[in-house]
Amino acid sequence: MMIPRKIHMIWTTRETGRDDDPLPGEVAERVEVYRRMFPACEVKCWSWADVQEALDDAEGRRIMAAARACTLAAMRVDLLRLAIVGRQGGTWSDVKNLPLMDFTTEYPAGKPLLLPEHFPIESHPIPAGRLCNGFFAAVPGNDFLQAATLAALDNIEARRPGGVFDLTGGGLFNRLVRRWSGSELFTVPWETLWQRWIRRTPMQYNAGALHWSKRQQTEPLYRSA
């Protein structure tokens, strides 16, 4: 089975439909960049209502309840991206990722899962071997993404303390990957992903707001039951 030619993103600021939570201009422009650059792909920027409709079964409603329990949007989107791509397959790409080429044409044949090395940051300027979840691709029903979804779900439902990266983000990939054989996945080197395929760009929609990495230090991660 090949990775479907689908590209997924999410934009949701509250539990409502797209008409009541429209895309900011810069986000809409970014979505259009993907549609122009990937004419053979279905490009979808999911709203809360879209996700709720797609996850309208027992497991899906459990996932939506867990997403509602998270106070930080970063945690909610971490969980929802795993569920969407885990079910439908395709490629997840953060809105902040500006595509430089049709990277789907370079996916290695026969690999049901692509995981990314992290983009360079101050603490890890050469992030070789350190994974993130700002980009990944998989076939529908991939076991690794199912395991990651369940791990994130378990962390949220248990109200575990810690940081977003480890509870619902790329830290899950870093822990789980040790249990998967190399033949089942392909790790995209950071130089390939963040220098040839994609450029990580700042956007104005969260200008002036504290990043989740700062907010998690002083704000509760979960809503009270």
User: pLDDT at position 52, please?
Assistant: 96
Instruction: Quote the percentage of the chain above a pLDDT of 90.
Output: 85
Residue-wise pLDDT for 25-78, tens only, equals 999 999 999 999 999 999 999 999 999 999 999 999 999 999 999 999 999 999
Exposure on the CB side of residue 90, measured as CA atoms within 13 A = 21
CA quadruple 37, 41, 45, 48: dihedral, nearest 10: -170
Q: Exposed (0-12), middle (13-18) or buried (19+): which is 3, by Cβ within 10 Å?
A: buried
User: pLDDT at position 114, please?
Assistant: 97
**pLDDT surpasses 80 at 208:** no
Q: Residue 128: pLDDT band by 50, 70, 90 thresholds?
A: confident
φ, ψ of residue 199 in degrees (nearest 5): -120, 130
User: pLDDT at position 29, please?
Assistant: 98
Nearest alpha carbon to residue 143 among 62, 89, 223: 89
CA-CA distance, 54 to 63, in Å (whole number)?
A: 11
Q: Which residue has the higher pLDDT, 180 or 119?
A: 119
Q: Residue 181: pLDDT band by 50, 70, 90 thresholds?
A: low
Contact indicator for 170, 118 with CB cutoff of 8 Å? yes
> Would you give the end-to-end CA distance of the chain in angstroms?
41
pTM of the model: 0.95
Q: Which residue has the higher pLDDT, 52 or 181?
A: 52
**pLDDT surpasses 90 at 163:** yes
The least confident of 2-6, 132-136, 204-208, 217-221 is 204-208
Q: Residue 195: pLDDT band by 50, 70, 90 thresholds?
A: very high
Q: Which residue has the higher pLDDT, 211 or 169?
A: 169
User: pLDDT at position 205, please?
Assistant: 84
Instruction: Tell which CATH classification among 3.40.630.30, 3.30.1510.10, 3.90.550.20, 3.30.300.30 matches the domain 6-215.
Output: 3.90.550.20
pLDDT, mean of residues 7-35:
95
Q: Residue 225: pLDDT band by 50, 70, 90 thresholds?
A: low
Q: How many helices (H) and strands (E) does the chain have?
A: 9, 8
**pLDDT surpasses 90 at 141:** yes
**pLDDT surpasses 80 at 182:** no
DSSP, collapsed to helix, strand or coil, labels residue 126 as coil
- Which residues, 6 or more positions from 112, have their beta carbon under 8 angstroms from its beta carbon? 1, 3, 138, 139, 142, 184, 185
Q: Residue 3: pLDDT band by 50, 70, 90 thresholds?
A: very high
CA-only gyration radius of the chain, Å: 17
